[in-house]
Amino acid sequence: MKRSLRHPFGDRRIFHRAGASAGTGTGRTSTRQPRRRSSRFSVEAILDAPDTSESRPSLRLRLLGIGVAGLLAVLGLRLWTLQVLQAPAAAQAVTANQIREVPIAPVRGIILDRNGHPLVGNVVTQQITLDRQAAKKHPEVVGRLAAVIGRTQAQIQADLANQQFSLYRPVPVLSDAPLSTILFIKEHQSQFPGVDAIQTAQRTYPQLEPVGPAQTSYPAAQVLGYVGTINSAELGSRKAQGYQPGDAFGQAGLEYQYEQQLHGTVGSQRLEVDSQGRVAGVLATKPATSGSNLVTNIDTNLQQVADASLASQVQSLRRTYDPKCNNKAGCYPGATGGAVVVMSPKTGAIYAMSSFPSYNPSAWVGGISQADYSALSDPANNQPLLNRAIQGLYTPGSTFKLYTATAALLTGLISPNFSYYDSGTFKTPDCQFNSTSCIFHNSAGDPAGTYNVAGALTVSSDVFFYNLGYLFYAKQSQYGPTPIQDQAAQYSLGQLTGVDLPGEVKGRVDSQAVRVKLHALNPKAFPNSTWYTGENIEMAFGQAGTFITPIQQAVGYSTFANGGTRYAPQIAAGVVSSDGKTVLRNTPKVLGHVNLSPANYQALLTGFKGVVQSPNGTAYGTFKGFNFPGGLAGKTGTADTVAGKEPTAWFAGFGPTADPQYVVVCVIDQAGFGATAAAPVVRDVFSYLATHPIGPPMLPPDSQTARNNVPLAPVSPGA
């Protein structure tokens, strides 16, 4: 028997050759075979043969069904959410994408004088507009349009980019367009896609000023104000009232003060807009309601007289050499500006309010040019936009003596019969400094003599009032630290008068408290916070750090003239709706009282009458031979302000003296003496009033008169 080779790894086990019999040999015991172990793995188990594994299709189908049902449930829930819960929001979003509501600007109300004549009206003009989408699609149209209307491409592009104009309205590029320009564009419409001419209402100023220095301005320009395009700040505060970008908005004066009444009620159009933002059609229109008309207390012809007289006087002063100016070195007065206020002491109604220099608000119609705006804003032109009647601050000079005299009489410091000798100088008793700083002098020409309060007012005795200032300071324990200032406040000084115009300033009456406050705010500009005898003396006759406005002066003298009742000055007489119904009638507003006894009132009145009627009066020369029914009274004022320049000139007059109907105040800065610089303007105003008394306001106004844009014949001083 053959044996196979041993296992290469040395295994001594012997394996039969392949094919050898497994049986036993001849009688020998058979060889032991290797033990076979059963496999742990089954191919059938791996393959899961059908004949060896149980099939379970129903379980898989159930699982698949549950998954599909879950997906359908989620999809159904989403569809329900979109179609039921979110349907209103989706519908609104779709509508918003397709429909735009565009406001329709109302026609602005007009401004009338007390007789129904238009001071500010409306006129229908043609306005050339350009559609933004068309300009974007046809950029060449900007150049063509610029060449035709006389503007630059940059200017038109700036208009198109201006966010003040609505995105869904054509942008105005030229207001008050000439007919020839409109016809040319219409005849060549194919060359001007998106360009159109529409009718629009814009402000017009029909009245005129008399020929002379005032003729380039407009009656009561600063009082009326002007209209411009609403800015972002104004839009933010008024959007709830229906204002939109591009709307007209009052920017100053009455236009601003009564914006709500003048503006009207905004209408609307519902426009269908395509995906490109182009208007496809108009769905609905709600008309706008015109603004109400404002009737003022202004008398146009009286206003013209005041404007012309003030402007003429300023020009005359500038041409007149004054040898006493600049410490007698001589100069031509600067006469930089001034104001006139004509007021009713019975009601507070303002009949005229002038400010010089002035301007014409028509410059803002259709948008003001840069050149015009620069000229109006240039300080070298003395700020024509400033309403000096309510914003100009002036040292009052001797016109302040009304307030000091009233304080002295009402506190009992003096009686109407108290007299004091005016030697021409006043030396402060117990002066702690050198003698020159303790001596105060009368103005040049003031006569020496013994005066009571009436006589002191007539001749404007400074020494008399120096003494009052000293006595109040010396007797503070009895009368308090501020008796003069407190009395001045009752007359309106140092506080707002309540005039219905924006921008009024308060001014101030000098005192230690005022100086301490100013010093704390700006120590360099106001280094002196002390208050000695000299400060009280200067304050008592209207000098030092006291600054007031002409409207405060008018209210103060009106309060005295009517016997002690202080009224709020009112420009507006009432408001009339567009259909002619009076919706607001202003009535006199009492703000305070000055308790003048008959004896005290007569003492002061006698002094003021003497200023005009007595040969010793400071304004006698100006009013000599002038006859006003019932007579006139008043007070001059000459206030030193800037060293080396002419003083500020004041005059406050009222009449008739027995029952005052008018108070007229004039101030001109750097003009000279009040009697020769300011009083002639007041005389001109009273000259007109003597033959043209003011009647009640026309409320409601005559509709035909209100619509008449033909100007009144301008009235010059003395006419």
pLDDT in tens, 642-680: 777 899 999 999 999 999 999 999 999 999 999 999 999
Closest CA to 534 of 525, 526, 546, 543: 543
Angstrom distance (rounded) from CA 326 to CA 635: 25
Query: What are 16-59's pLDDT values in tens digits?
Result: 444 444 444 444 444 455 555 555 555 555 455 555 555 567 77
Q: What confidence category does residue 217 fall into, taking pLDDT thresholds of 50, 70 and 90?
A: very high
Closest CA to 403 of 345, 329, 465: 465
Using CA atoms of 341, 334, 649, 535 in order, give the dihedral in degrees to the nearest 10: 120
All structural domains of the chain with their residue ranges: 125-200, 397-592
* pLDDT value at 627 more than 90: yes
Query: What are 338-353's pLDDT values in tens digits?
Result: 999 999 999 999 999 9
Query: What are 218-269's pLDDT values in tens digits?
Result: 999 999 999 998 888 888 888 788 788 878 899 999 999 999 999 998 887 7
The side-by-side arrangement of strands in the sheet containing 648-655 is 350-356, 338-343, 662-668, 648-655, 633-639
Angstrom distance (rounded) from CA 208 to CA 240: 38
* pLDDT value at 11 more than 70: no
Instruction: Name the average pLDDT for the chain.
Output: 88
Pick the CATH number of 397-592 from 3.40.710.10, 3.30.200.20, 3.40.190.80, 3.20.20.30: 3.40.710.10
Least confident of 120-124, 493-497, 506-510, 714-718: 714-718
Least confident of 54-58, 273-277, 360-364, 684-688: 273-277
Query: What are 516-553's pLDDT values in tens digits?
Result: 999 999 999 899 889 989 999 999 999 989 999 999 99
Query: What are 687-708's pLDDT values in tens digits?
Result: 999 999 999 999 999 998 998 8
Check for a shared fold between 125-200 and 397-592.
Answer: no
- Check if the beta carbon of residue 302 is closer than 8 Å to that of residue 662: no
Under the phi-then-psi rule, with left for phi > 0, alpha for psi from -120 to 50, and beta for the rest, what region is 29? Answer: beta
* pLDDT value at 465 more than 90: yes
CATH number attached to the domain at 125-200: 3.90.1310.10
Q: Region 177-197: what's the mean pLDDT?
A: 89
Query: What are 390-426's pLDDT values in tens digits?
Result: 999 999 999 999 999 999 999 999 999 999 999 988 9
What is the reported pLDDT for 330? 87
* pLDDT value at 439 more than 60: yes
Tell me how far CA of residue 573 lies from CA of 142, 294, 298, 561, in angstroms: 48, 8, 9, 22
Query: What's the token pair of residue 494?
Result: 């140092």
What is the reported pLDDT for 294? 98
Using a pLDDT cut of 70, give the percent of the chain over it. 87
Question: Helix or strand or coil: residue 93?
Answer: helix
Burial state string for 138-158 with b = 16 or more CB within 10 A and e = fewer than 16: beebbebbbebbebeeeebee
